């Protein structure tokens, strides 16, 4: 019988020939991962592969050895660069495991992608990185699901290290690998002067390719990948659902607070924004474009963003720089403006109860007299649609909208914006998804945690007002000093996510039943409350029919 002291020598002898790449027919064949193969053998795993790797934090991947640290909340954390790119060129999957930022410090987190209103030292153009959070309990045989999180920020701000996105607690609660991914933003990701479209979306495809190849080395399953994202991150996922070539890289999705009122940009709208950007930069040659400073790119980007509705109303006000229905990569609008394709992936669609409150009360700092409500609506909807809105029973003054004895129309506008951009358009999407073959589960957060920055609108700090982004720290379990209601919801959501990641269904024994959506009733549960969210204006005979969504109205 072999002595256990001889096993390391045998292991080393077997590794050397397997780990050498060799040229075959002029091609370089990537290194085989012998550690993965041998660590699947029970005897080898027992003695040489604790915690699923070669030794603790060190993992042998197809890209090379990965080194990590123990996150403050207990999971193993691995920052890594997943792709490289030249300016305004498609990104390329890496061939080796490298830390972000050109760093040798394994504990250093990635710098963000270039964006406005942050110091230049906080970002880098070489920003295609992710952070992996791996439960310490996983072994190479765990076959654990992978949750890939895409951050929001209207496609112009945000990063994998934004507040609340430490995936350690979420990874451990769901017993899954959590990958928080960043992608090129703004003009660098969507307004390439050379005509390359959807560069940022294709960055995420490379991130998914990287995860598919690397996940098994950490105990993850390449076939059990769920995409999750909030706001623009959810819009990004909707773009990937519209791209047939990306379909095999994930099996389910979670869309949180996706402003589904906005469809993918049509080519003509994208061209209008791109032409303005090129005009502002004054560059037509490749050499000139490559020589532009980041500050000049961001300045031109801001002007395009701010002026987008005047360039083409179909761009909208909220996130005008976004994925493009280019017809080759993104091939379907995936909305009710045209034929909806056959679908099969399970999805979760959630919103928060007061999505538009921050925006409305931040723009209008003082109460708005009721007589101004029609004019403000008309500026957004046009006269014909405004007539339908103001005559409906859904947006009349309520007792809660009385301030100093006068009606404050901001309350009506907040409800209107929530319904139009998020809640009702999301419900319409869920109905269409179910009608064409998929399963959908719909929910609305009625408990949340005030996201940093939202306190600028005092109303968003009230416990019964859940503003845009207030679901993020609930999902990740990163709420500081949570209340009992927040703690209960964190536990519930993470249990439901764990079930969904494993089998595409968020129902868990001991929790209230979450009925799947149907073509007539989406059964939107109240997350943090009881029962189902009221339908209100989200009947398909109103939004999407009597009053068109922007993707119908403009396109």
Which residues are tagged catalytic? 231
Rounded to 5°, angle at Cα 79 from 73 and 80 = 160
At 487, which helix (H) or strand (E)? helix 484-503
> Cα separation of 175 and 145, whole Å?
8
> Cα separation of 21 and 14, whole Å?
15
Burial label for 527, CB within 10 Å (0-12, 13-18, 19+), is buried
Structure tokens at 121: 């030292």
CB atoms under 10 Å from CB of 160, counted, come to 25
Asked if 311 and 326 touch (Cβ cutoff 8 Å), the reply is no
Structure tokens at 157: 């701000």
Structure tokens at 94: 């890496």
Residue ranges of the alpha helices (H) in 292-409?
294-311, 357-363, 373-381, 383-391
> Cα separation of 102 and 326, whole Å?
34
Q: How many CA atoms lie within 13 A of 129 on its CB side?
A: 27
Residue ranges of the alpha helices (H) in 167-285?
168-174, 186-190, 199-214, 232-241, 267-281
What separation, in Å, do the N-terminal and C-terminal C-alpha atoms of the chain show?
Answer: 74
Task: Provide φ and ψ at 495, rounded to 5°.
Answer: -65, -40
Task: Provide φ and ψ at 256, rounded to 5°.
Answer: -105, 120
542 Cβ contact partners less than 8 Å away, ≥ 6 residues apart? 392, 394, 424
Place of tokens 């933003």: 185
């Amino acid at each position: 019988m072999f002595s256990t002291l001889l096993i390391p020598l045998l292991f080393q002898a077997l590794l050397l020939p397997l780990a050498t790449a060799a040229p075959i027919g002029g091609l370089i064949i990537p290194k085989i991962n012998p550690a993965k193969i041998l660590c699947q053998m029970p005897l080898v795993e027992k003695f040489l592969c604790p915690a699923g790797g070669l030794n603790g934090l060190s993992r042998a991947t197809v890209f090379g050895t990965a080194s990590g640290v123990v996150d403050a909340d207990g999971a193993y954390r691995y920052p890594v660069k997943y792709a490289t790119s030249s300016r305004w060129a498609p990104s390329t999957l890496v061939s080796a495991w490298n830390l972000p930022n050109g760093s040798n410090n394994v504990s250093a987190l990635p710098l963000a992608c270039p964006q406005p209103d942050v110091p230049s030292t906080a970002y880098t153009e070489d920003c295609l990185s992710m952070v992996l959070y791996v439960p310490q309990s996983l072994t190479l045989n765990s076959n654990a699901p992978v949750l890939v999180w895409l951050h929001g920020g209207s496609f112009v701000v945000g990063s994998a290290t934004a507040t609340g996105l430490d995936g350690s607690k979420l990874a451990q609660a769901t017993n899954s690998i959590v990958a928080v991914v960043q992608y090129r933003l703004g003009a660098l990701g969507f307004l390439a002067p050379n005509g390359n479209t959807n560069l940022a979306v294709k960055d995420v495809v490379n991130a998914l390719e990287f995860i598919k190849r690397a996940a098994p080395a950490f105990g993850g399953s390449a076939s059990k990948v769920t995409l999750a994202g909030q706001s623009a991150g959810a819009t990004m996922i909707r773009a990937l659902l519209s791209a047939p070539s990306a379909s095999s890289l994930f099996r389910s999705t979670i869309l949180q607070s996706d402003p589904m009122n906005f469809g993918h940009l049509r080519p003509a709208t994208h061209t209008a924004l791109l032409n303005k950007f090129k005009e502002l930069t004054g560059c037509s040659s490749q050499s000139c474009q490559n020589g532009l400073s980041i500050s000049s790119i961001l300045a031109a980007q801001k002007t395009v963003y701010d002026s987008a509705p005047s360039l083409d109303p179909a761009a909208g006000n909220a996130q005008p720089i976004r994925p493009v229905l280019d017809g080759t990569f993104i091939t379907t609008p995936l909305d009710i403006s045209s034929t909806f394709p056959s679908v099969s992936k399970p999805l979760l669609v959630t919103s928060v109860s007061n999505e538009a409150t921050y925006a409305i009360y931040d723009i209008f700092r003082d109460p708005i007299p009721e007589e101004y409500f029609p004019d403000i609506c008309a500026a957004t909807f046009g006269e014909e649609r405004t007539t339908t809105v103001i005559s409906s029973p859904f947006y009349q003054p309520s007792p809660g909208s009385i301030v100093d004895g006068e009606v404050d129309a901001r309350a009506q506008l907040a409800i209107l914006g929530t319904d139009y951009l998020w809640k009702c358009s999301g419900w319409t999407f869920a109905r269409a998804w179910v009608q064409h073959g998929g399963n959908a589960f719909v929910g609305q957060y009625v408990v949340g945690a005030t996201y940093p920055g939202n306190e600028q609108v005092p109303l968003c700090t009230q416990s019964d007002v859940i503003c845009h982004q207030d679901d993020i720290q609930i999902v990740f379990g990163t709420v500081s000093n949570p209340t009992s209601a927040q703690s209960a919801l964190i536990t519930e959501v993470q249990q439901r996510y764990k079930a969904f990641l494993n089998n595409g269904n968020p129902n868990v024994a001991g929790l209230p039943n979450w009925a799947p959506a149907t073509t007539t009733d989406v059964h939107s549960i109240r997350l943090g409350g009881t029962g189902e969210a009221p339908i209100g204006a989200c009947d398909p005979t109103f939004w999407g029919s009597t009053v068109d969504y922007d993707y119908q109205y403009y396109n």
